Amino acid sequence: MFIDDIVPPICYYCATSIREGLLCKECNSQLSYIHPIAAHSKRDGRFLFLWEYQGLPAFLIKKWKFNHDIVARDIILSCVDSYLTEFREEFSDIDFVGFIPMHPLKERFVRWWNPAAVIARYISDRLNISLVDVLSVRLFKPELHKIRDRDLRLKKIRNSFRIREGALERLLSVSKEIRFLLVDDIVTTEATFKEASYTLVKAVKNLVIKGFVLCG
Ligand SMILES: [Zn+2]
């Protein structure tokens, strides 16, 4: 006897009865992606993002990031997987993939729990692009996420990241222009993304950064 025979499956988000899978049809439709053309035009070509930060996507990311919920993680990864298939050409010129790290203290233990790290590793495996773990957090500012003002946030976040030396050598050994895919989970004010990009480009002059973000 399977668990489904005793407890009929329900949608992970809205709890209505479903026959199979994890989400009902209506909830699933909330996960349809923003087309790369629309994403690029909204962010001046700087990064691709799958969804707006609201509703079901926001719920899933929070569940994964803060509750370490593996169902939420798996739903998101399956969306990333089909996005990579559908828009494969967006990634065809990428040489390396990396991610924005989370927290210097927690990092040692949960570095690979960070959704950005998991997604970067997933993209690396799936598209056969070298993963380079090049950034770490120098300073953690707990109040930072509460700041909504873009300029103030950018000022506060300055010098928050540092380069991991071993990984840097790999990038510096490449003489041609390097197309680097920088992954993060949520980008709202772009302050974190900009500071991380700035840190990277300062260290590696021939780096061209393209972002890949779940919610932007
Ligand atoms: Zn539902």
C-alpha separations of 101 from 33, 135, 182 in Å: 25, 7, 11
How much distance in Å is there from the Cα of 75 to the middle of ligand 1?
13
Domain 34-215 in CATH 1.20.1630? The answer is no
How much distance in Å is there from the Cα of 26 to the middle of ligand 1?
6
Structure confidence by residue, pLDDT tens digits, 109-161: 666 678 999 999 999 999 999 999 999 888 666 666 667 777 777 777 788 89
Q: What is the pTM of this model?
A: 0.89
Mean pLDDT of 195-205: 94
Confidence category of residue 189, pLDDT binned at 50, 70, 90: confident
**Of 109, 76, 14, 8, nearest to 213 (Cα)?**
76
Q: Identify the residue with better confidence: 189 or 171.
A: 171
Q: Does residue 146 contact residue 157 with C-beta atoms inside 8 Å?
A: no
How much distance in Å is there from the Cα of 63 to the middle of ligand 1?
16
> So what's the pLDDT on residue 141?
64
Structure confidence by residue, pLDDT tens digits, 4-44: 556 678 999 999 999 989 999 999 999 999 999 999 898 88
Confidence category of residue 190, pLDDT binned at 50, 70, 90: confident
How much distance in Å is there from the Cα of 70 to the middle of ligand 1?
18
Mean pLDDT of 193-210: 94
Q: Does residue 175 contact residue 143 with C-beta atoms inside 8 Å?
A: no
Q: Give dist(CA 96, CA 78) in Å, integer.
A: 22
- CB neighbour list of residue 15: distance below 8 Å, 6 or more residues apart: none
How much distance in Å is there from the Cα of 50 to the middle of ligand 1?
19
How much distance in Å is there from the Cα of 68 to the middle of ligand 1?
21
Domain residue limits, the chain: 34-215
Look over the chain and give the mean of its residue pLDDT values, rounded to a whole number.
Answer: 89
How much distance in Å is there from the Cα of 82 to the middle of ligand 1?
20
- CB neighbour list of residue 97: distance below 8 Å, 6 or more residues apart: 120, 123, 124, 129, 130, 131, 132, 180, 181, 183
How much distance in Å is there from the Cα of 15 to the middle of ligand 1?
6
How much distance in Å is there from the Cα of 62 to the middle of ligand 1?
17
How much distance in Å is there from the Cα of 23 to the middle of ligand 1?
5
How much distance in Å is there from the Cα of 148 to the middle of ligand 1?
31
How much distance in Å is there from the Cα of 129 to the middle of ligand 1?
35
> So what's the pLDDT on residue 127?
97
